[in-house]
Structure 1
């Protein structure tokens, strides 16, 4: 993979370590084989690479899946004790690694650690017959880590140590293109700490801030700030709980995840109606907003290209900012605990995150919390 020069669109980002995009997202899961089947069958990901006993790895097994530019790695332990086991026992299935594609993994690690990042591992070079990859890593909120991946001297299926995973069963994709953003939930009073981390350690800039007046219902509230790198390819909203009459979704997440972690992965599509229709047919469950949400939505957002009826039928939300509008919908949790979920988003010019939908969305989440007895 060749080095890529990307255009800086947010001038206030200092970009100490230029990032080309999301390289992969690794989830530690209880049963990687079955999880891989779920993401293929339900979300339309395709088999790419594998490591495990057959490749000489006696500690863990990993399945690598792709759709568009989205790459998921699903990893389970092969032994009874160890760090992966500890992560699953504490958090349940969840994101361990947000890997970032960089031109220089050594310089990225040096820049981050000298500005205060805690090292996860120092730069290392792995090679096989397909070339070599240099990686390094730092810690971020909770047990989540960032791994910097320098791969333009490598042309294998994923990383050294993996082999191509060729399987006949590969359901067609559903139109998912790339990771739009990834949301982290952190504990009370920690939002500004981690926003400062992304600004000072990684050179990100703050795009937007939401307080408990922006994101609240009668019962619950939260606060959020969105951090982005200079080219806008990496966006990390950071949420923390705020005081409310009842327990917010952020508190529920932290209670069940036992700490800070990735709340949801937002993936982009160019046709949300087709994508969500396909996902629903495959059994993916989405949050339901009241039908009266659509009674005056066009008065709020103005003219859109799509007919309202299919959006209403599919429960897709609409919002507008100064740049355009967006369409979005949120799955129910895709793991056993009420923690991680996905957002499907289509941007028609809008650069924002659906502020106008927050109240309807949070009320929908509260209804789910009430059924779980965690509100």
Structure 2
């Protein structure tokens, strides 16, 4: 198994306001509850270039569920489906459709992480549990967050197996090439009206995060809709969680649409980083991934706004990639249409060229593009 490096322990604090009492080394994996894990795994392999890693199910002794584990560089996805009717996984899928259940965070000490967070008020999801096989042991613990989303703390320093005990290596013949995705840059949660500050305070008090940036309805608004957002980050900057809530507007915002179809708060999107967004997006588009588009007029004055960039503008324009700059550099980003039947989760592709921000200069063009999609669905 490709391992996550420990360089975060030597990195200077990117967010000096954060207490960082856990600390967090990175994102270990993201688990999605899905209606058909076998078919979902094929989609993420064929369309997104993820590689098969591990499997758990009837053949490994599980009787109630099946999980496929996929990996691309430092990104690991676990796709889990129930094998019988009833139970929490079925109920979760019935309520929310396919969606993120667990954001698993890599730690040195899962027991300490559990104690630190529950003592500060987090609701327990899983008490510290050690699972073992002949490759070693993994310690897991977990807490509840917004909606039905949970954080799992994963301590795997004493494990050398393919993923964790209970899984076996998964080696299908079909192994499409990757598309250059490197790591999870950030994960965005949508919460209900007037809940953003509550959950930002949760990440600050319970997990030692600090606010990186805040956007209000003046920053993120169009003629019709608006939303508010704050970005919470741990000290080393490896974990960034923007939290969105609706704001008053003339029509139904994308956050309201999400909450209506997801039936509550949940993960809106994952931002996946690449070192070459033109190559990555070209490959994704060729594999059938659909992206939001902005009017051609966006590119008429974009370089006047962001200044000189390394890339030719033509391929960025052809692919619909957005550009923004902050004091430390610039970034390139693009957003898919919803990747599920419900208009809930989507994926962002991002390439940072020094920028630490989140594309504020693109908000208006982006959210107008989202509104056009909402209008086509009759949900604006």
TM-score by length of 2: 0.98
CA–CA separation in structure 2 for the residues paired with 1:263 and 1:6: 31
CA–CA separation in structure 1 for the residues paired with 2:127 and 2:4: 23
**Equivalenced residues, count:** 375
- Report the Cα offset of residue 2 of structure 1: 8.8
Q: Give the 3-state SS of the residue equivalent to 2:25 in structure 1.
A: strand
- Are the aligned partners of 2:268 and 2:344 in contact in 1 as well (CA < 8 Å)? yes
CA–CA separation in structure 2 for the residues paired with 1:102 and 1:202: 12
Out of 261, 266, 276, the residue aligned to residue 281 of structure 2 is: 276
- Are the aligned partners of 1:50 and 1:162 in contact in 2 as well (CA < 8 Å)? yes
- Are the aligned partners of 2:37 and 2:80 in contact in 1 as well (CA < 8 Å)? yes
Out of 201, 204, 216, the residue aligned to residue 199 of structure 1 is: 204
Q: Which runs of 5+ in 2 are unaligned?
A: none
Q: Give the 3-state SS of the residue equivalent to 1:19 in structure 2.
A: coil
Q: Give the 3-state SS of the residue equivalent to 2:179 in structure 1.
A: coil
- Report the Cα offset of residue 200 of structure 1: 0.2
CA–CA separation in structure 1 for the residues paired with 2:276 and 2:206: 36
Could you say if the C-alpha distance between residues 3 and 218 of structure 1 is closer, same or farther in structure 2, counting changes exceeding 3 Å? closer
Q: Which runs of 5+ in 1 are unaligned?
A: none
Moved over 3 A (4+): none
TM-score by length of 1: 0.99
Q: Give the 3-state SS of the residue equivalent to 1:197 in structure 2.
A: helix
Aligned residue number for residue 339 of structure 1: 344
Q: Give the 3-state SS of the residue equivalent to 2:207 in structure 1.
A: coil
Deviations 1:65-115 (A, max 9, x none): 000100000000001000000000000000000000000000000000000
- Are the aligned partners of 2:4 and 2:74 in contact in 1 as well (CA < 8 Å)? no
CA–CA separation in structure 2 for the residues paired with 1:308 and 1:76: 43
Could you say if the C-alpha distance between residues 217 and 313 of structure 1 is closer, same or farther in structure 2, counting changes exceeding 3 Å? same
- Report the Cα offset of residue 16 of structure 1: 1.6
Out of 105, 111, 115, the residue aligned to residue 110 of structure 2 is: 105
Could you say if the C-alpha distance between residues 6 and 234 of structure 1 is closer, same or farther in structure 2, counting changes exceeding 3 Å? farther
Aligned residue number for residue 246 of structure 1: 251
2:358 matches 1:353: yes
- Are the aligned partners of 1:6 and 1:20 in contact in 2 as well (CA < 8 Å)? no
- Are the aligned partners of 1:224 and 1:239 in contact in 2 as well (CA < 8 Å)? yes
CA–CA separation in structure 1 for the residues paired with 2:248 and 2:109: 43
Q: Give the 3-state SS of the residue equivalent to 1:177 in structure 2.
A: strand
CA–CA separation in structure 2 for the residues paired with 1:58 and 1:135: 21
